[in-house]
Chain A
Amino acid sequence: MSAEAESKSTETPGALWRRNLWVWAGLMLFLALSTWAAYWPYGRIDTAVAFGIAGVKTALVALVFMRLKHASGLVRVVAACGLFWAAILFTLTLADVLSRMANR
């Protein structure tokens, strides 16, 4: 709490912008990379790269812009719960879909 109060008094608009502009520049770079990668002639690898980059962009937004990096344990558990149940949803459904496709 005391460290927070200290940063409150020393924070300037410039420092606030600099901290967030780095993340924005990274997001723009990843956007350009994913657009370029979509034209690579590697088929499925392109798709993997596209969704991998979407994951990296989401991590940047969630950790810095949504401040999960500095969030309380309770908030992190709630955020992880969303991903956890979505992962179960995907795993069980795709286990069914992919096994049907493999045995067709």
Chain B
Amino acid sequence: MSRADVEACLREGHPDIEARLREPWSDLETDHATAFARQRDGATFGIWVFLASEVLFFGALFLTYTAARLANQDAFAAAGRETNIVFGTLNTAILLTSSLTMAVASQAAEKGLFRRLTLWCLAATAVFGLAFLVVKGFEYREDIEKHLVPGAHFALSQAPAQIFFGFYWLVTVVHAIHLSIGIALVTRLAVMGWRDVDFLEENPQVEVTALYWHLVDVVWVFLYPMLYLPGRSG
């Protein structure tokens, strides 16, 4: 690093920008601060492209549900009554709260001022994510005991109710896989940030992980009225 770069780093308050620059941004013929800003923009842009593709992936699943529900409204209401609204509501609250701690962690890391706050919020986010999976596990056990798995011993008499629970199992498992990946990514950030004092500060990886986490939360926000709220008033 040249003397001018070191001075630029000190002026900007960056610990060591060059170490965090990746290809192709490290090859840019600009100063490191500009290259790093472009790397940040590239990371945000890239994760949003991925999130837009995830919107279409889950959109296709949601559309399948919509078409099946329109054709079988009574069976879907009867099936919706069988899901456990206490577990569902609790898990929605847990995920929304995890999005709060994730947002605070991301914003604190971007400011680069509150390393301990960032670490605690990352840890809390991972714990909330694990709590969601634990609650979901208890719910799955109850669903299996109530014979809500489509097949020969299915509990409800209306045949299209099996379409509802086929969707329920598919989409909640796909969501749980997404959430597990999120927990792994958040835990990775927390561990690396705990080991290396400078790791989290202004690191684009924090924002990228946070955006992914929020999308997994938003998917659940839509699954909640689809799986837990139909048929409650009937």
Where the two chains meet, the residues of A that have a C-beta atom closer than 8 Å to any C-beta of B are 8, 11, 13, 16-17, 20-21, 23-24, 27-28, 31, 34-35, 38-43, 46-47, 50-51, 53-54, 57-58, 61-62, 64-66, 71-72, 74-75, 78-79, 81-83, 85-86, 89-90, 93-94, 97-98, 101
Interface residues on B, range: 35 or more
Chain A residues with Cβ under 8 A from B66's Cβ?
Answer: 90, 94
The binding surface of chain B is classed by DSSP as helix
19 contacts between A and B (CB under 8 A): A13-B117, A16-B114, A20-B104, A27-B99, A31-B92, A31-B224, A35-B85, A53-B225, A58-B218, A62-B218, A65-B100, A66-B210, A66-B214, A79-B48, A82-B53, A90-B63, A94-B67, A97-B71, A98-B70
Q: Known A62-B218, A97-B70; judge A34-B96 contact (CB<8 A).
A: no
Judging by beta carbons under 8 Å apart, are A54 and B233 in contact?
Answer: no
Q: A13-B117, A54-B224, A90-B63 are in contact. Are A20 and B103 (CB under 8 A)?
A: yes
CA distance A55 to B181 in the complex (A): 25
A-contacting 9-mer, from B54-62, B126-134, B147-155: B54-62
Residues of B within 8 A of A17 (CB): 104
Looking at A24, A53, A54, the one whose CB has the most chain B CB atoms below 10 A away is A54
Which residue on chain A has the smallest CB distance to residue B114?
A: A13
Determine if B60 and A89 form an interchain contact, defined as CB atoms under 8 angstroms apart: yes
A95, chain B: closest CB distance, angstroms? 11
A31 to B91, CA, bound (A): 11
Cβ-defined partner of A23 (8 Å) among B53, B100, B108, B230 = B100
Contact of A101 among B51, B70, B117 (CB under 8 A): B70
Sorted nearest first, the 5 A-B pairs with minimum C-beta distance are A82-B52, A82-B55, A50-B225, A86-B59, A38-B229
CB distance from B71 to the nearest CB of A (A): 7
A86-B60 Cα distance, complex, nearest whole Å:
8
Annotate B95-108 by CB proximity to A: 1 below 8 A, 0 otherwise: 01101101110011
Closest CB of chain A to B8's CB: distance in Å?
A: 14
Q: Does B31 contact A (CB under 8 A)?
A: no
In the bound assembly, the distance between CA atoms of A98 and B63 in angstroms comes to 13
